[in-house]
C-alpha cells in the first residue's frame, strides 16, 4: 500500500554534492562511535545464505526472500532479509564478545515510499550476554548508548553544516511499552499511536513488540525466533519534515530456549524447531546475546532533513514516483 507524503514548500538543505559528502561524514562517524560505545569488532557478513540453515530472517513471518540457483551445482540460495540470526551464530564462530557489520538486503515485498526502499542498508550488531544480563536494565542501558552515539554524530555534523541543526532532539531517550501506549491512546490505530508518542517525547524506545495486546493483536509483527518479545523494541524519533514517527532501529535481547519455544507456539511455527539454527538455541549451543539493526540511509535521511530515502540512497523507484516527487523539488537518486 502506497503511503507517499508530498511535502509543501520543500527545499533540500544541502545540494547533491554536499549531500554525498555529508553522508560519508555521518556514516564514518556513527560507525566509529557505535563500535566504541558498544565495544564491537567489525566483521564481514554474507549477502546470501542457504534456505535450509534457518539463518535467513523471515521478519514478520510472511515476507518471501529473493532467491536464485547457483549455476555451478544447482544449490538454492536466498538473499538475506536481515542478519538477526546470522550475527548470533557469528559470535560463536568468531569467538568474540561483540560485532557489527554492513548489512545489505533486498526486500522485494516492500511498497516503496518516503521511508521504504527495496534495498536495505544498515549496521547490524550483536553482543554477548550472560544469563544474569538478560533483563530490561541491560536493554535500556544499551539503547541509551546507541542514542549517545547518534547524538555525537549529530553534533559533529552540525559543526560542519550549522544549517542542519535540529531543535527537536532531546538530550535523553524515553522508554514506553506497547501496553502503556495502548492504554494511553486506546482509540488510535498503531501508526497514529507511534506518531503521537514520538511527537510527545522527541526520542522514545517503544518496548515489548510481538505479543498480543488487549485487542488480541500485536502492536507490530515480529518473528518468533530472534527477539524475546518481552525484551525488545524500536527506537522512534519525531520527524518534523514529514510529521511522523521515524523508526531508526529495531533491536532486542535474543530468544533463549524457553522464549523460543513459547513464541514459536504462539505463532504456530513449531515446524521450525528442527532447523539447524533453532536446534543450536534449544541445545544452548549459541551464546545469549542482544542485537539489532540501525538503518544507514535512514540515519542520513533524518540528520540531513531529507523527505525521501531516495535522496540519500540509489535504488529503484517507480517512474510515477520520480515524476511526482520532482514536482515537489524532491530529486530521487
Round to whole Å and give the CA distance between 227 and 57.
11
Pairing outcome for strands 98-106 and 119-128: antiparallel
User: Is 107 among the residues known to form the active site?
Assistant: yes
Which 8-state DSSP code applies to residue 107?
A: -
How far apart CA 291 and CA 138 sit, in angstroms, is 12
CA gap 91, 228 in Å, rounded: 18
3-state secondary structure at position 212:
strand
Verify whether residue 37 is a known catalytic residue.
Answer: no
Q: Of 121, 124, 227, 247, which one is the catalytic site residue?
A: 247
- Do the beta carbons of residue 299 and residue 248 sit within 8 Å? yes
User: How many other C-beta atoms lie within 10 A of the C-beta of residue 168?
Assistant: 12
Is 298 catalytic? The answer is no
Q: Which of 117, 122, 208, 313 is catalytic?
A: 122
For the chain, list the strands marked E by DSSP: 41-42, 48-49, 67-69, 76-79, 98-106, 119-128, 174-177, 203-207, 227-239, 244-254, 289-295
C-alpha cell, 223 = 518473528
Residue 57 a catalytic site member: yes
Burial of 269-295, coded b for 16+ CB within 10 Å and e otherwise, reads beebbebebbebbbeeebbbbbbbbbb
Count H helices, E strands: the chain? 9, 11
From 31, 126, 228, 234, active-site residue: 234
Active-site pick, 250, 263, 289, 313: 250
Active-site annotation holder among 31, 33, 78, 107: 107
The set of residues, in sequence order, having a beta carbon less than 8 Å from that of 306 and lying 6+ positions away, is: 12, 19, 241, 300, 312
Q: Which long-range contacts (CB under 8 A, 24 or more apart) does 271-274 make?
A: 272/54, 272/224, 272/225
Catalytic residue among 33, 57, 126, 225: 57
313: number of Cβ within 10 Å: 21
Parallel, antiparallel or unpaired: strands 203-207 and 174-177:
parallel
What are the residue numbers of the active site? 57, 107, 122, 234, 247, 250
Amino acid at each position: 500500500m502506497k503511503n507517499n507524503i508530498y511535502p509543501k514548500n520543500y527545499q533540500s538543505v544541502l545540494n547533491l554534492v554536499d549531500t554525498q559528502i555529508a553522508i560519508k561524514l555521518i556514516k564514518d562517524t556513527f560507525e566509529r562511535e557505535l563500535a566504541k560505545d558498544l565495544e564491537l569488532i567489525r566483521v564481514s557478513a554474507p549477502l546470501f545464505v542457504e534456505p535450509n540453515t534457518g539463518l535467513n530472517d523471515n521478519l514478520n513471518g510472511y515476507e518471501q526472500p529473493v532467491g536464485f540457483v547457483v549455476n555451478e551445482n544447482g544449490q538454492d540460495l536466498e538473499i538475506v532479509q536481515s542478519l538477526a540470526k546470522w550475527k548470533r551464530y557469528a559470535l560463536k564462530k568468531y569467538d568474540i564478545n561483540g560485532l557489527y557489520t554492513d548489512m545489505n538486503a533486498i526486500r522485494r515485498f516492500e511498497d516503496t515510499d518516503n521511508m521504504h526502499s527495496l534495498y536495505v542498508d544498515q549496521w547490524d550488531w550483536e553482543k554477548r550476554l550472560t544469563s544474569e544480563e538478560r533483563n530490561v536494565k541491560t536493554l535500556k542501558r544499551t539503547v541509551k548508548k546507541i542514542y549517545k552515539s547518534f547524538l555525537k554524530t549529530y553534533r559533529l555534523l552540525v559543526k560542519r553544516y550549522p544549517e542542519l541543526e535540529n531543535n527537536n532532539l532531546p538530550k535523553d531517550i524515553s522508554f514506553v511499552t506497547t501496553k502503556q501506549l495502548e492504554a494511553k491512546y486506546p482509540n488510535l490505530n498503531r501508526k497514529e499511536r507511534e506518531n503521537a508518542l514520538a511527537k510527545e517525547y522527541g526520542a522514545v524506545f517503544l518496548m515489548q513488540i510481538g505479543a498480543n495486546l488487549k485487542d488480541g493483536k500485536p502492536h507490530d509483527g515480529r518473528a518468533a525466533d530472534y527477539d524475546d518479545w518481552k525484551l525488545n523494541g524500536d527506537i522512534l524519533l519525531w520527524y518534523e519534515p514529514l510529521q511522523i514517527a521515524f523508526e531508526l532501529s529495531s533491536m532486542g535481547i535474543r530468544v533463549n530456549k524457553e522464549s523460543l519455544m513459547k513464541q514459536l507456539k504462539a505463532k504456530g511455527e513449531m515446524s521450525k524447531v528442527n532447523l539447524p539454527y533453532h536446534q543450536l538455541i534449544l541445545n544452548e549451543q549459541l551464546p545469549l546475546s542482544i542485537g539489532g539493526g540501525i538503518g544507514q540511509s535512514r540515519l542520513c535521511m533524518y540528520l540531513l532533513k531529507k523527505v525521501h530515502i531516495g535522496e540519500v540512497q540509489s535504488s529503484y523507484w517507480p517512474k510515477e514516483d520520480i515524476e511526482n516527487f520532482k514536482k515537489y523539488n524532491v530529486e530521487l537518486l
